[in-house]
Amino acid sequence: MRTIRGVAAKQIIKGALLKENAEEQVAEHVAQGLVFTSLRGTDSHGIRLIHHYLAGVRSGRINVRPSYSVEKRMPTVAVLDADHTFGHASGMEAARLAVEMADEYGSGNVAVKNSTHFGAAAYFAIDIAEHDMIGTSYTHSDSLIIPTHGKRSFLGNNPVCFTAPVKGEGPFCLDMATSIITFNAVRQLRERGEKAPENVGTDQNGIPTTNANEITMLLPVGSYKGYGLSLMVEVLCSMLTGMPYGPHISKMFENLENKRYLGHFVSAMNISAFIDVDIFKERMAAMINELRNEPPLDPAQAVMVAGDPEKNRFSIRNIEGIPLTENEFKEFEVLNKKYQLGVEM
Amino acid sequence: MRTIRGVAAKQIIKGALLKENAEEQVAEHVAQGLVFTSLRGTDSHGIRLIHHYLAGVRSGRINVRPSYSVEKRMPTVAVLDADHTFGHASGMEAARLAVEMADEYGSGNVAVKNSTHFGAAAYFAIDIAEHDMIGTSYTHSDSLIIPTHGKRSFLGNNPVCFTAPVKGEGPFCLDMATSIITFNAVRQLRERGEKAPENVGTDQNGIPTTNANEITMLLPVGSYKGYGLSLMVEVLCSMLTGMPYGPHISKMFENLENKRYLGHFVSAMNISAFIDVDIFKERMAAMINELRNEPPLDPAQAVMVAGDPEKNRFSIRNIEGIPLTENEFKEFEVLNKKYQLGVEM
């Protein structure tokens, strides 16, 4: 196992994108979003994706010099046309617009259309919470989850993300997929030759299997609950934007020349419109610390709140670097060399 | 098994509340909310609760003649002080305010404080969707769910409810608790002498058990996901309102003289601010009908979308009436007599 410092990974990613003619702001948000995500330990949505993204830039899927257009029919709603740029960039532009509206009116809601993969939802919602607002972010994605009682996938593993600021530490952040386990976890089981838990995934015929090699589709968390949450996200990201839904969304890792036509949704709510922000943040800290001090069932596993594992990993990786396999490390060396970036790894 | 027609149940509930000196609007919303909920099949939150509520009115917990006050610091946010009235009434007042703000500004968000039990979350969010808006409603509740890795309950079984209008039928409605099964389901298992599924509930020491008689606490759906959603609801209902949280909330069925100090949260988003409402509703219908036509794994169990079981039950019960046990039916007869309502049951 090798490691790469966050700052070096960011320089390489941003440098490569700039050499591919990306706008400064686009390159910055992609690099920052991916590194932030890897530092928090969400490796499936972190820096490893840059190679896939660069292929998408070269194939014409992703537009690195977008002309955004914003349609605003009412004071607290906007629809942002992302012009097929990186979701990391359009999502942050949407977050900026939502915060701006919430500053003036108390809340802001932005639907993004004609976008591409936006990485981890937490990146946008945490940014909103850092403005002392309650943030949400959602994206839909290509078909992977089987609806309850179904036998083939329909909706994507659409994430739900909710954030709120806390006194004395980073924001509370719930960022959850609507499957029981992620497909990335299935891949890891395959690599390790391990079995999957029961009733988390199915084979190509929709039959649940514990054979990780046979799993091609995932089951929703809590049956109709995870499925329902996934459908909620589709309403926000497809129905409000006019983008395709579920099985009609082009696949992330296939036909890289195809545009994605993805939608995202972000919202900001101004806490000071409800209550004194300091009181809110102090009570948040009191509540989550009370939870962390709850007696654990197994003394070896403390009670945490959503986002704690990511905060813990961030503290470690911010010092020790982001772990990469030997092969992944080499791929970053190749980028560094190919784009003549001269970053000290 | 007996049945009571929805219209008769409503007359008895409203009549009893009016005789207890309730304001017309309060009595109307409680009666309408409970009957609507029972007709949709959510018996745990339906008409059976009226006896508990009437006891709460007589004990001084619930104020049937509230003086609402609304604090509005910004155009799309309001905090409604419910003056300890029925949550059914304060929740509908909040929904009205949210829709009003969304009509003008595109979105509206209302936190309710000093409220009491509001019944089923769907009642409010469906009302919002019927205004061609996207609705949400949330409430916190007293401690019942064990946080992941914990051994005692902390948060309540806080519901998440999301609605959106659909062409040609009632709104899409996801209304989900954040436990795997409800405590009402545990009670039913006890009555039937049946075992609970594994890992849905624990005994008083936090040890998972399948003995329904020993279950006193519930486990969250999808482990940290349901727990995280429950915490999200607590942020909206307690942190934004200043109301107590989790274990500090007074118990619904204990010490009926205690005020509840509950918070709720509702929001409305104006669909026409994003996209033509007809297009939205047509695409909603297309998507959910496509899902309903997905091939089922077991031909006997069709694929549905969230809210379909409730719509189906409503169609049946609206004609056949609400099923009650012999004892429950008698309790309604007692009310009818006690309050000299003369309703034809």
Lowest mean pLDDT among A237-241, A293-297, B214-218, B253-257: B253-257
CA-nearest residue of chain A to B225? Answer: A176
Mean pLDDT of A281-307: 98
Mean pLDDT of A148-165: 98
Output the CA–CA distances (angstroms, integers) from residue A7 to A2, A3, A25, A54, in the order listed: 15, 12, 17, 19
What residue type is assigned to position A37 of the chain?
A: T
Number of A to B CB contacts under 8 A, please give it: 233
Query: Using the 8-state DSSP alphabet, how is residue A255 labeled?
Result: -
Tell me the pLDDT tens digit for each residue of A253-284: 999 999 999 999 999 999 999 999 999 999 99
Interface of B with A in 193-222 (CB under 8 A): 206-207, 221-222
- Residue A235: pLDDT over 90: yes
Using CA atoms, how far apart are residues B155 and A291, in angstroms rounded to an integer? 9
Does this model's pTM top 0.95? My answer is yes
Chain B neighbors of A160, CB-CB under 8 A:
229
Entry field: residues in chain B = 345
- A318 in contact with B at a CB cutoff of 8 Å? no
Q: Rounded to the nearest 5°, which phi and psi values hold at B92?
A: -70, -35
- A334 in contact with B at a CB cutoff of 8 Å? no
Tell me the pLDDT tens digit for each residue of B152-180: 999 999 999 999 999 999 999 999 999 99
Structure confidence at residue B188 (pLDDT): 87
- By the 8 A CB rule, do B218 and B238 touch? no
- A294 in contact with B at a CB cutoff of 8 Å? yes
CA-nearest residue of chain B to A301? Answer: B149
Structure confidence at residue B327 (pLDDT): 94
- By the 8 A CB rule, do B287 and B115 touch? no
Contact A75 B105 (CB under 8 A): yes
Instruction: Quote the mean pLDDT of chain A.
Output: 97
Collapsing DSSP states into helix, strand and coil, what is residue A204?
A: coil
- How many CA atoms lie less than 13 Å away from A68 in the CB half-sphere? 21
- By the 8 A CB rule, do A85 and A62 touch? yes
Contact A246 B294 (CB under 8 A): no
- A157 in contact with B at a CB cutoff of 8 Å? no
- B75 in contact with A at a CB cutoff of 8 Å? yes
- By the 8 A CB rule, do B171 and B305 touch? no
Using CA atoms, how far apart are residues B230 and B218, in angstroms rounded to an integer? 12
Chain A neighbors of B109, CB-CB under 8 A:
106-107, 269
| Phi-psi map region of A136: left, alpha, beta (phi>0 left; psi -120 to 50 alpha) | beta
Which residue among B79, B206, B270 places its CB closest to the CB of A74? B270
Closest by CA to A275, choosing from A154, A133, A114, is A133
What pairs with residue A156 in β-bridges? A143
Longest dimension (CA), chain B: 54
Closest by CA to A253, choosing from A81, A115, A120, A59, is A59
Tell me the pLDDT tens digit for each residue of B251-263: 999 999 999 999 9
- Residue A305: pLDDT over 90: yes
Distance from CA of A52 to the nearest CA of B (A): 29
Collapsing DSSP states into helix, strand and coil, what is residue A260?
A: coil
pLDDT < 70 stretches in chain B: none
Give just the sign of the alpha carbon dihedral B50, B52, B58, B62.
negative
Chain B neighbors of A105, CB-CB under 8 A:
74-76, 105
- By the 8 A CB rule, do B102 and B63 touch? no
- By the 8 A CB rule, do B110 and B266 touch? yes
Q: Which residues contact B299 (CB under 8 A, 6 or more apart)?
A: none
Using CA atoms, how far apart are residues A217 and A206, in angstroms rounded to an integer? 7
Contact A291 B221 (CB under 8 A): no
Collapsing DSSP states into helix, strand and coil, what is residue A103?
A: helix
Tell me the pLDDT tens digit for each residue of A193-229: 999 999 999 999 999 999 999 999 999 999 999 999 9
Which residue among B105, B287, B298 places its CB closest to the CB of A245? B287
Which residue among B150, B296, B298 places its CB closest to the CB of A296? B150
Which residue among B105, B228, B306 places its CB closest to the CB of A176? B228
Structure confidence at residue A184 (pLDDT): 84
As given in the structure block, the two tokens for residue B135 are 């609705």
Contact B273 A77 (CB under 8 A): yes
- A152 in contact with B at a CB cutoff of 8 Å? yes
Tell me the pLDDT tens digit for each residue of A24-36: 999 999 999 999 9
As given in the structure block, the two tokens for residue B147 are 């946080």
Output the CA–CA distances (angstroms, integers) from residue B17 to A177, B54, B63, B94, B180, in the order listed: 44, 8, 11, 21, 34
Chain B neighbors of A301, CB-CB under 8 A:
149
Question: What percent of chain A is helix, strand and coil (3-state, nearest 5)?
Answer: 45, 20, 35
First CA to last CA distance, chain A: 15
CA-nearest residue of chain B to A72? Answer: B273
Using CA atoms, how far apart are residues A233 and B306, in angstroms rounded to an integer? 13
- By the 8 A CB rule, do B243 and B262 touch? yes
Contact B291 A154 (CB under 8 A): yes
Interface confidence (ipTM) of the complex: 0.97
Contact B234 A270 (CB under 8 A): no
Lowest mean pLDDT among A106-120, A183-197, B116-130: A183-197
Domains of chain B with bracketed CATH: 2-179+220-277+308-338 (3.30.1370.60), 184-219 (3.30.60.50)
Could you write out the DSSP letters of every residue in A267-311? Answer: EEEEGGGTS-HHHHHHHHHHHHHHHHTSPBSSTTS----TTHHHH
As given in the structure block, the two tokens for residue B231 are 């915490």
Contact B164 A239 (CB under 8 A): yes
